[in-house]
Structure 1
């Protein structure tokens, strides 16, 4: 039991609205939801409630009494409040009434009872028997692949995971550049059913993320199902037997063919580094590498270093290496929007960790607050207003307000360096490109005397440096590419031959599309996680999307088991109608606005990455597959 001082420290660190909601569970007293205690949040804040000091002290004092009673043995009086009370609690924590249409969605995400719609439903004996006859191949052992393995295991479906790396973790295994960390709050960037109350920071660094996913893999004994250092070179659909044949290649060159009833790709969108097509690439005589393939054997201390790109990765590693190098030249095409998040590098207070671990339901309500405020609650700020006739630097009134707030924060940081101002405040709308989280370290690095920001276009890489359009050669000992990934080239490097011998990349012709981001006509029993148009821009954690996708995929396997079908293939009309809606909707957001180029758009200018609706829409669309959306082929033939 915590001593008095420890409990006081914990309460001082509490997110008070989440604490109040937890007290309703502890006491079964809904009068905790006092109107005068309703929070008034500031956009992008760490959860400041706007409550007077007296009210905050009152909440903490009353909560202390209730928590002490619980720790002394008092029973938890309201583990599952009725729906009406839950609605009041959600409104209270959100600081405003939540639309009724969101109620079932958010109650499911809260999972107060300990279960949710994302749990596999394979309880019936006939389904269990059918599940045992299925075999699924999962490609990738990162966040999504591990999730698929967990849910398939829970459903009793046989599966194997093939991973090209030597360990689990995906992006959190591969990306080891200095400063690498998550840019979504860790208490939301984790599986909903596997919270981690010990995250060291609100936005923890890469080693902590890798530790988390390794821990999850160990808990669910997933490594016994994984072939490491093995690549899937090709997939071929056997129409006569309705199975996929996968050609595997091990590290030692040994090849093997395996079969599966279904295939799930979980390879991500941001896994193939992009090297820009600049004259002279490859001629630089010093060490040159992409941030995703960081050369830890290259000592940067005292060196002249050139960094090409100012995207999310550079935003993290430039402040880390700037103090170590002799001179750093940063080449910028367009500046990123930095959204003010002062606690980006801050530790989670020990008191907060204590509350998350020891006070029932506090963790759920804290995650709920993060979920709402950084997802659906934030989304309207990047929505385009119909008929907007304001400045072209915004797409609507709310977007303009967000722009002015973010621009003011950036300008304040360079008040002592007015020469930097025109080059650090973007001219495109907030949300047009991927925004980053700003706590001052980026502009602090650019203001260092040994750092130079160059905005002239690069025309050539020379053996000794980088040449810009003004004819200046910028010398360098080391060249680092922070130039992102080939995001629109979905499943590049994997040959997938579907029905009729048609290859997936030929079918896409460079413009990848899928129904709900998961399945495409001509490729039965083939599912993608984090596929086309399932990326999220400003509204939340990609783990949410992966959990929804895996729920749908497991539901598709259940549909096969229930119907006795051996194959399911999305109908062409369903697929095409969906993509028409997606393309039209993407035009209504900052990232779809004309004149803004980003990795969200493919070579045809189409937004191939982003989901243009709310999270609630993806949640509803993926609750379960609609049999009418698919052509089902009967009479399964199990894989030996």
Structure 2
């Protein structure tokens, strides 16, 4: 039997068994694969533990192997599209528990068994197609969201061009090249829902692999012909009389150019402008000094005395990478990060698993469904504030305290031989209050090295020779690296935007960016933001999911323009204001909204301007299609007789 490995049963040990068994329903047409004794009972802190006895697993894999051999030997699929009752059973089986009814349509849409989704543009009618061809859209940014916008606009038949300041696609995965840079969301979810990759080399891929994925996407959808690289959009101005945006572009040759578009989509992300700390003497260090997002590969760290300021997500990744090669490494920490135990964070995806993903029909969809459901709400209930909580301020509720205890036990096990580190690495703020990182032990292992020091005294000054701390000690270095994050709350800070009547976007925001559904702003017609205010996620889901929902909604707005014959739309101020009021009220009920916690989730006013405070399902529902009643639609003026 060509193409079927002789050791198939052994190969299946690396595949997610509940997803395999569910795929067998499609292959054989038999729902008997969904046996109660084969159903998983997941451990939320150990995704490798299926809760199925080993003998049962062996029994199931033997049966699966035989069914796969039969199918690959020439027997066709028996149940490509199961009925609703069967599909519900399959979903419950993979999830390990009954899925609440309100999630079913949302999850079926994400599963896309028939290859179709609500995220696919619906521009089939001839009149609509003709109206779409008359539109012209400017997309700013060729990263994950910009490429996605290009794909969907192309599918809808809407003319567009993409402008990017970089020399290639990829956005954050083009710009961030520091050692150890990788995604912190499982790659089988951190990829477009309609473009799975069965050959991801690792569960959480490093930057070069992610960049190649997005380069491949740009090539497959022939997007490069629409992209102007090394071009900066300096300003946007709305022409009230003609209802178009006039964009001033600055090309790589230094020349400026004005282009016009009916609509603008910004796809520039939140985490792309490095934030330098407000420390006296900044810039006075005489040696090489750089931010991790602008890594200097021309600076050889081997044998050097290196100082690192900051212990956020980037430092958490690059410190373990550089620690073995430097002479000494001193890490200056203001507050420690919470690490969520993910033992396989650096692990390769086994070749056996890749084979199953590629060759067993529907396995890839059900495996992704498993990952998606487990993180749809994820740890969300465990970072919810309980108004009745009277426990210590290190937690915001009983479930949060339980999650804290589990994460603390993991950290304590890693420092059992170094109790002196306990006060330095175990946070005293509620888990979820700041961005958590994925912990597989390499961070603590790096801090325990003989050539690494963790300093928690406040940095008071940058000197010519290094860093001075509050205890008066001057730490001397050869190289200084800032791992101090990004200007997350300064949305679109690089871009001058003048809306209706010359209204300035940043003056309108006054440093406190707000948008309806994170995408549209009153007074700025046909102006759409992806990954805008309050669309960040903390412990649940993938940001690609949010981008797919946002782009679906934005394309829906363009469809509304085409269908209605309007030339402009903008959200009603009352709708915008009511939405943001509800967002603020809801954000106060989470760990990250606690008044006792400061983080980049909050802007200079102390308002949580980053995070979405509801479930993924709520954003999915809210972005299915724009409600015309939410908008002011401007019709084309009648010609004067």
Please report the TM-score for the alignment, with normalisation by the length of structure 1: 0.99
- Look up the match of 1:535: 536
CA distance in 2: counterparts of 1:287 and 1:563, whole angstroms:
58
Question: d(CA) in 2 for partners of 1:6 and 1:487?
Answer: 50
Moved more, 210-219 or 81-90: 81-90
How far residue 466 of structure 1 moved from its aligned partner, in angstroms, is 0.3
Mapped to 1, the partners of 2:279 and 2:113 lie a distance apart of: 54
Q: Is the 8 A contact 2:4 2:72 kept in 1?
A: no
Q: C-alpha displacement at 1:364, in angstroms?
A: 0.6
Q: Which SS does the other structure have where 1:138 is aligned?
A: strand
Q: Which residue matches 1:15? A: 16
Q: CA deviation at 1:6?
A: 4.3
Q: How does 1:578-593 map to 2 (within 5 A)?
A: 578-593=579-594
Give me the whole-angstrom Cα distance separating, in 2, the residues matched to 1:471 and 1:28: 73
Deviation larger for 625-634 or 392-401 = 392-401
Query: Cα–Cα, structure 1 residues 375 and 636, in superposed 2: closer, same or farther, change >3 Å?
Result: farther
Matches within 5 A, 1:391-410: 391-410=392-411
Q: In the alignment, what sits opposite 1:523?
A: 524
Q: 2:335 matched to which residue of 1?
A: 334
What do residues 102-149 of structure 1 show as CA deviations (whole Å, max 9, x unaligned)? Answer: 000000000011010000000000010001000000000000000000
Q: What residue is the counterpart of 2:60 in the other structure? A: 59
> What is the match of residue 488 of structure 1?
489
Contact kept? 1:303, 1:327, Cα under 8 Å = yes
Q: Secondary structure at the match of 1:420?
A: helix
Contact preservation (8 Å) 2:378, 2:541: no
Q: Which runs of 5+ in 1 are unaligned?
A: none
Which residue is equivalent to 1:212?
Answer: 213
Deviation at 1:636, TM superposition (A): 8.6
In 1, the alpha carbon distance for the partners of 2:605 and 2:248 equals 32
2:109 and 2:118 in contact (8 A); partners too: yes
The 3-state SS of whatever aligns with 2:20 is helix
CA contact (8 A) 1:566 1:636 kept: no
Q: How do 1:224-243 residues align onto structure 2 when only pairs under 5 Å count?
A: 224-243=225-244
- The answer as to whether partners of 1:399 and 1:430 remain within 8 angstroms in 2 is yes
Residue 346 of structure 1 is matched in structure 2 by 347
Mapping 1:437-448, distance limit 5 Å: 437-448=438-449
> What corresponds to 2:623 in structure 1?
622
* Matched residue, 2:632: 631
Deviation at residue 3 of structure 1 after TM alignment:
4.1
Q: Which residue of 2 aligns with 1:159?
A: 160
Deviation at 1:26, TM superposition (A): 0.6
Q: Trace 1:236-635 onto structure 2 (pairs within 5 A).
A: 236-635=237-636
Give deviations 1:549-592, integer Å, cap 9, x for gaps.
00000000000000000000100000000000000000111111
Indicate if the aligned counterparts of 1:230 and 1:251 stay in contact, CA closer than 8 A.
yes
Cα deviations by residue, 1:165-185 (Å, 9 ceiling, x for unpaired) = 000000000000000000000
CA-to-aligned-CA distance 1:454-484 (integer Å, 9 cap, x gap) = 0000000000010000000111100000000
Q: Which runs of 5+ in 2 are unaligned?
A: none
**1:32-73, Cα deviation, whole Å (9 max, x unpaired):** 111111111111323421111111011101100110011001
Cα pair distance change 1:391/1:5, threshold 3 Å: farther
Count of residue correspondences: 637
Q: Hey, what's the Cα distance between the residues in 1 that align with 2:302 and 2:39?
A: 52
2:121 is aligned to 120
What is the match of residue 31 of structure 2?
Answer: 30
SS of residue matched to 1:562: helix
3-state secondary structure, aligned to 1:402: helix
Question: SS where residue 17 of structure 1 aligns?
Answer: helix
Which residue of structure 2 lines up, in the alignment, with residue 77 of structure 1? 78
Report the Cα distance in structure 2 between the residues aligned to 1:47 and 1:527, rounded to whole angstroms: 41
Take 1:307 and 1:123, find their aligned partners in 2: how far apart are those partners?
55
Given that 2:342 and 2:438 are in contact with CA atoms closer than 8 Å, whether structure 1 keeps it comes out as yes
Of 43-52 and 427-436, deviating more is 43-52
Runs of 4+ residues over 4 Å off in structure 1: none
Q: Is the 8 A contact 1:176 1:294 kept in 2?
A: yes
Q: Aligned equivalents of 1:376 and 1:157: distance in 2?
A: 35
- CA distance in structure 2 between the partners assigned to 1:191 and 1:514 by the alignment: 25
State whether residues 164 and 229 of structure 2, in contact with CA within 8 Å, keep that contact through their aligned partners in structure 1: yes
C-alpha separation in 1, matches of 2:347 and 2:47: 11
Secondary structure at the counterpart of residue 467 of structure 1: strand
For 2:10 and 2:509, the matched residues in 1 are separated by: 57
Q: What CA distance in whole angstroms lies between the structure 2 residues aligned with 1:128 and 1:10?
A: 48
Are the aligned partners of 1:536 and 1:611 in contact in 2 as well (CA < 8 Å)?
yes
Match of 2:151 in 1: 150
SS at match of 1:84: helix
Contact 1:565-1:636 within 8 A present in 2 as well: no
Cα deviations across residues 215-273 of structure 1 (Å, max 9, x unaligned)? 00000000000000000000000000100000000011111000000000000000000
- Distance in 1 between residues matched to 2:279 and 2:471, nearest whole Å: 16
Instruction: Kindly state the Cα deviation for residue 7 of structure 1 after the two structures are TM-superposed.
Output: 1.9
